Structure 1
């Protein structure tokens, strides 16, 4: 199993929207590196949902439930189906992540504009623990 982080503008589509839908298509990603990450996803992988904009925080967990397929908004790109799992006990902010030395090499800190990125198993667990504090 792999771990991922998926960024979204909460004003456009929030974790609450995904939770209400239950399952939805994660589409509209156009960045080539983010697309490479989507193509590497497999059913059963886990993903953090990160709210951009004013929030800048990891707010929930979702599961990848499909293999990558042609993005319905543009078949030159790929998308996946995701299913909401649960909100984190509390959001973990980008500020907290940037202040923690263990995250300094994570793409969330180094490549802030990348909308789909891998998360190491170690970072995954560290974020989960931070959300419980």
Structure 2
């Protein structure tokens, strides 16, 4: 099993929204490196659910992958903000995964606070210039973050 961190804007999908839904499709990723990380995910992998582009960005919960990568249908939908005019049913470069809620944290672990934690110095999230919406987390980093909750 691998560990990940995935970012979502709360007005798009929040940890509370996922808790309410139970399951959801994680789609709309339009960065090739982030897409490749999604393609590396396996059913059962867990990830930190990160709220981004909001007043309190940070890790808000834990979720798991319940369906491995498949072609992202939003790329083919002209009404979707994630539509890709170059994508076709036979050649869709984008992927989605299905996810399920595991746990909402009692408090958001804010980005500024995470950056101050020595055990997380190598976490991609806290690295300067790191903007990926999907990134791997080592087992050591996963354990260290869980200990901070």
Question: Is the structural similarity TM-score above 0.5?
Answer: yes
Match of 1:119 in 2: 137
Q: Which stretches of structure 1, 4 residues or more, deviate above 6 A after TM superposition? A: none
TM-score calculated relative to the size of structure 1: 0.94
Pairwise mapping of residues 18-97 of structure 1 onto structure 2 (< 5 A)? 18-53=18-53, 54-74=55-75, 75-97=92-114
Q: Distance in 1 between matches of 2:137 and 2:56?
A: 20
Flag structure 1 segments of 5+ consecutive residues without an equivalent.
none
- Note the alpha carbon deviations across 1:15-52, whole angstroms, 9 max, x for none: 11111111110000011110010000000100110001
Larger radius of gyration: 2
Q: Distance in 2 between matches of 1:52 and 1:71?
A: 21
Match of 1:106 in 2: 123
Flag structure 2 segments of 5+ consecutive residues without an equivalent.
76-91
Q: Number of residues paired by the alignment?
A: 131
Structure 1 residue 17 and structure 2 residue 35: aligned? no
Q: Distance in 2 between matches of 1:40 and 1:122?
A: 19
RMSD of aligned residue pairs (Cα, Å): 1.1
Q: Is the Cα contact below 8 Å between 1:88 and 1:128 reproduced in 2?
A: no
Match of 2:83 in 1: none
TM-score calculated relative to the size of structure 2: 0.84
